[in-house]
């Protein structure tokens, strides 16, 4: 019986020591930085107030960077005939009068960035249908890193 009184506290102390030493290792650094969308390059497209013609193909082009690892990006083109805003840009574009959509363009596409990338040049061809409503549109770029941090760039464009 006396042995049990010694074994129980000794076992408790051993268990606690094991727990604390197991938790004392270096923990990995936590990524708390947002990824970046760089559309300042000479060949970046579109930029704020770009004009695009119906029936043509455009080439989306920009550079993405992250301190740890990029994850994915998505593009969203939708009408802005009601003058709502998503713009992240300082300058405004000349807007057409408000109108009701009849056959507006809607484009949504997601792309997974190859694993291990801290920098990525995004290039994507997009066909602009001939039969869509011309006018004001938004071109949204959503960039997400591997940890889930997201950066959004909202551009105003015009489809002629």
Per-residue model confidence as pLDDT tens digits over 94-135: 999 999 999 999 999 999 999 999 999 999 999 999 999 999
pLDDT value of residue 90: 77
**Is 149 a residue whose pLDDT tops 70?**
yes
Q: How far is CA 160 from CA 36, 42, 106, 154, in A?
A: 30, 23, 15, 19
Residue 8 near residue 2 (C-beta atoms within 8 A) = no
pLDDT value at position 12? 58
pLDDT tens digits along 2-59:
555 555 555 556 555 555 555 545 567 888 899 999 988 889 999 999 999 999 999 9
Q: Which pLDDT value is given to residue 88?
A: 81
Residue 74 has pLDDT above 70, yes or no: yes
What domains, with CATH codes, occur in the chain? Answer: 36-159 (2.60.40.10)
Contact 70, 113 (CB under 8 A): yes
pTM of the shown model: 0.80
6-20, 75-89, 99-113, 140-154: which range is least confident on average? 6-20
Name which residue leads in pLDDT, 24 or 78.
78
Residues 6+ apart with CB under 8 A from 135: 79, 80, 81, 96, 99, 158, 159
Whether omega for the bond prior to residue 75 falls within 30 degrees of 0, making it cis, is: no
- pLDDT (0 to 100) of residue 6: 56
* Closest-CA residue to 120 (of 144, 138, 140, 153): 144
The pLDDT of residue 69 is above 90: yes
């Amino acid at each position: 019986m006396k042995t049990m009184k010694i074994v129980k506290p000794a076992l408790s102390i051993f268990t606690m020591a094991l727990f604390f030493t197991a938790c004392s290792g270096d923990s990995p650094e936590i990524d708390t930085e947002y990824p970046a969308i760089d559309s300042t390059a000479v060949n970046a497209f579109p930029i704020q107030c770009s004009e695009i013609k119906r029936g043509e193909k455009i080439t989306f082009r920009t550079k993405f960077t992250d301190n740890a690892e990029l994850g994915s990006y998505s593009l969203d083109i939708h009408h802005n005939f009601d003058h709502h805003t998503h713009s992240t840009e300082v300058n405004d574009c000349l807007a057409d009068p408000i109108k009701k959509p009849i056959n507006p363009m809607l484009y949504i596409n997601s792309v997974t960035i190859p694993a291990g990338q801290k920098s990525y040049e995004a290039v994507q061809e997009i066909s602009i249908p001939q039969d869509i409503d011309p006018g004001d549109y938004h071109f949204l770029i959503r960039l997400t890193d591997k940890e889930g941090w997201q950066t959004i760039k909202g551009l105003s464009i015009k489809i002629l």
